[in-house]
Chains A and B, each alone.
Chain A
Amino acid sequence: MPLQVSDLSQPESPDQEYLWTLNFGPQHPATHTTLRLTLTLDGETVVNAVPDIGYLHSGFEKLGEDLTFNQYVTIVDRMNYISPVANEISWFQAVEKLLAVDITPRCTYVRTIFAELMRVHDHLLNVATVALDLGGFTGFLYAFNLRERINDICERASGQRFHSSYFRVGGALFDVTPDWVDMIRAFLAEFPKVHAEVHGLLTRNRIFVDRVKGVGTLSREDAIAFGATGPIARASGVVRDLRKDEPYLAYRELDFRVICARAGDCYARYLVRMEEMLESVKLIEQAIENIPAGPINVGLEVDPDDGRSTLPNKADVYRSIEGLIRHFEVIMPNRGYPTPIGEVYGASEAPNGELGFYIVGDGKAKPYRVRTRPPSFIHFSMFPHMIRGATLSDVVAVLGSLNIIAAELDR
């Protein structure tokens, strides 16, 4: 996208000729993904920043209009690929709201465990890469080593380490197994050590604290006006967490705290993420010991008016003609069950903020329109506001602490 001089909100005048223009990205190690900033510098001070996005735009929302609900999960996975399963949970929550499907208690707990695992997954990466961008390499190694364990857990459940595509409408691809539970127990035993290592390396590290404290401050009023959600809003003193405010999945039955801070700077965002990981682990510890027995999918035995858009269990497919017929009806692209004519907005607390889907159904098997409410997009729109007046080296710190994932930003 060619940038015009008029794009800069402060036009260049002769007495501003000393200003530098610096092109930051699209291929830059600190942007992590493909996004571009045009910075106007006065010496080392950033006068203005013009973000230029769209490098990873791949038409996810257009594709969604051509795929069924179960097929679209592979696309949803690739939006925020730092926490893929959290996207699936959010997507199916909206779909099940549209189709009025109630998932089974077992599935509720499995989804809760995955949602919290993904929060740890995301926050570990974010905390580690903020430090990495600022020169602290060691914590990155500890955090990424632990992220491997979470990838292994995903692999055990779904067969895929990264883009798991594990959940389906009304349930999941497979039921979880006892060794999956053992892997999570092993992870829970390993986590406090790694958290303490990262904590010890960074939280009171003079160099790190100097780079993040008081940098990129976002006031509570601005956070609300710009629509910030998740850890970024909570670090600015907005007490809002969908897990508490609009309880979904099993969060109503589990005990956890909402972590907030007031400072609103990069350091507060770092601390909020560190504490949230501990809360997530607490949630997993409670949920893993209390997974209810019973089927994971909404099965054939439920009222057919309610559960008909869901995939039946494999056992039902192989052993009963009803199951085989329904499997066929759901899987074959020219069959499929109709959606209601109506629109819903379903949102959940993804690691990065409120991830919502606005789905419009038109009575056919495919959604008429799927809109993603991407937290990265909303958070990146605050960036010029946050960076004005800071120094060039702060750009990296602020960008990292906002946790911008360009695949979700551009979709």
Chain B
Amino acid sequence: MESFRGDVRLVIQTDDVFETLRSLRQEFDFDMLIDVTAIDLLEYPDATDRFAVVYSLLSIERNERLIVKTFVNDPDPTLPSAVSIWAGANWLEREVFDMFGISFEGHPDLRRILMPEEFVAHPLRKDYPLQGRGERHNFPVIPRSES
């Protein structure tokens, strides 16, 4: 449990994610999942893990927010899916999968959501260059004489 600028953050082990989220939903009444996102810690100072996954929770009754943070690592970053706890986790987890390549076990429909299906990389990883990996430059150049 830590706090920065008024945000309360709970850092948990990867193995405890599903149990923690479920008990937060059922026993502590955090009934709304505001956001699921990930951070690639590849270039982050003093980081030991590769990815951090962040769940933002909200209890409407108590008007209280909680940020739950956990870490996953290469080569096969996997977390249990929270779709069975909050229905709204569906698309949010698909976006994390699309952008970071973190897969969610038990997700009903884990497909890419923003990038095209035939895309191979995960663009928000820090080792993916800002200017793309040559998608545009690799288009074949067709001169006018051959067109």
Contacts and interface: CB of A to CB of B under 8 A. Distances in A.
**Is this pair of chains taken from one and the same complex?**
yes
Interface of A: 1-2, 7, 9, 53-54, 57, 59, 61-63, 65-66, 97-98, 100, 222, 224-227, 238, 240, 245-246, 341-345, 347, 354, 356, 358, 360, 362-363, 368-369, 371, 373, 377-378, 380-382, 385, 410-411
Contacts of A227: 32-34, 86, 88
B90 A381 contact: yes
12 contacts: A62-B123, A66-B130, A97-B5, A225-B87, A225-B88, A227-B33, A344-B4, A345-B35, A347-B34, A369-B40, A380-B91, A381-B90
B5 A373 contact: no
A93 B6 CA distance: 14
A382 B92 CA distance: 12
A98 B124 contact: no
6 tightest A-B contacts by CB? Answer: A227-B88, A381-B91, A54-B114, A226-B88, A371-B37, A225-B87
Interface residues of B, number: 42
A19 B34 CA distance: 36
Contacts of B67: 345
Interface string B15-31: 00000000000000001
B115 A57 contact: yes
Interface in B67-119: 67, 86-88, 90-92, 95, 99, 109, 111-117
Contacts of A411: 114
A7 B124 CA distance: 25
B63 interface: yes
Contacts of A360: 39, 44
Q: Which of A59, A227, A411: most chain B Cβ within 10 A?
A: A227
Contact of B113 (A53, A100, A368): A53
A371 B114 contact: no
Contacts of A246: 63
A411 B123 CA distance: 13
A324 to B, nearest CB: 31
Given A54-B113, A100-B5, A362-B44, A369 B130 contact: no
Nearest to B116: A1
B12 to A, nearest CB: 15
A381 to B, nearest CB: 4
A60 to B, nearest CB: 11
A356 B56 CA distance: 11
A226 B128 CA distance: 31
A16 B28 CA distance: 44
B115 A358 contact: no
A411 B95 CA distance: 12
B56 A345 contact: yes
A373 B56 contact: yes
A346 to B, nearest CB: 9
Contacts of A381: 88, 90-92
Contact of A226 (B37, B39, B87, B116): B87
A356 B88 contact: no
A344 B37 contact: no
A373 B124 contact: no
B10 interface: no
Contacts of A343: 4, 7, 9, 39, 54
A410 B113 CA distance: 9
Contacts of B44: 360, 362, 368
Contacts of B123: 59, 62
Contacts of A345: 7, 35, 56, 65, 67
B45 interface: yes
Nearest to B44: A362
Q: Which of B35, B63, B91, B117: most chain A Cβ within 10 A?
A: B35
A247 B136 CA distance: 46
Contact of B117 (A2, A9, A53, A63): A2
A54 B99 CA distance: 12
Contacts of A63: 130
B114 A224 contact: no
B66 to A, nearest CB: 11
Contact of A224 (B45, B60, B63, B116): B60
